[in-house]
Amino acid sequence: MRGDAVSPAERPLLFCGDIDMRIARDGTWFYQGSPIPRPALVKLFASVLQRDEDGDYWLKTPVEKARIQVEDAPFVAVELSAEGEGRDQTLTFRTNLDEHVTAGPEHPLRVAEDPESGEPSPYLKVREGLEALIARPVYYELAGLAEESDSEPDTLGVWSEGVFFPLGQAK
């Protein structure tokens, strides 16, 4: 190997610019305005999806990167499986791309307020910088499991992997 050779890990990524790819709020991936019809292709793109500290979303391969647009969150939690009860409960979500993610210390749940409607917008961390919007029917199912917090009066939430996740205030 030549002394001036640069390893692939040390080479800067080739910036390919902003590409006409968008992930809609419902989890549908679009390229040049058309839905991407092949689930395997969407899963491939999702496997190289990252978010930077500025909030931009990137498709990054070992040699290049391209910025894409994401309307809300890149994934949608479409199914919930609950096992156990109370502090011993485990909540596992299935995303629209068939990833299974268990809420807990590594994958927290959070609820934000939708700035337009004022309605709750619940999210699950899927991997670093990437979240899944919890679909409304799944959120209703989650709310059905809610119990009052031991430490915060009038706060309802759910347990998963020993962590209490607040969902909102009891009215």
> Cβ distance 15 to 65 under 8 Å?
yes
The pLDDT value recorded for residue 114 is 80
Residue 1, pLDDT > 60, answer no
Residues 133-169: tens digit of each pLDDT: 999 999 999 999 999 988 888 889 999 999 999 998 8
Q: Are 55 and 25 members of one domain?
A: yes
What pLDDT, on a 0 to 100 scale, did the predictor assign at position 125? 98
Between 79 and 117, the higher pLDDT residue: 79
Range with lowest mean pLDDT among 110-114, 115-119, 146-150 = 115-119
- Domain carrying residue 89: 75-169
Instruction: Report the mean per-residue pLDDT for the chain.
Output: 91
Residues 91 and 146 in one domain: yes
pLDDT at 132 over 50: yes
Q: What are phi and psi of 118, to 5 degrees?
A: 80, 0
Burial zone of 143 (CB within 10 Å; 0-12 exposed, 13-18 middle, 19+ buried): middle
111 three-state secondary structure: strand
Predicted local confidence at residue 3, as pLDDT? 52
Over residues 25-48, mean pLDDT:
96
- Whether the predicted pLDDT of 131 surpasses 50: yes
Count how many Cα atoms sit within 13 Å of the Cα of residue 15 in the half-sphere of its side chain. Answer: 3
Sole residue written with tokens 């290049």 = 64
Q: What is the CATH number of the domain that holds 26?
A: 3.10.540.10
* pTM, entire model: 0.88
CA distance 81 to 74: 21
Q: Kindly state whether residues 53 and 126 are assigned to the same domain.
A: no
Residue 41 has a CB neighbour count (10 Å cut-off) of: 12
* pLDDT at 35 (0 to 100): 97
87 and 150 share one domain: yes
- The CATH number of residue 108's host domain is 2.30.270.10
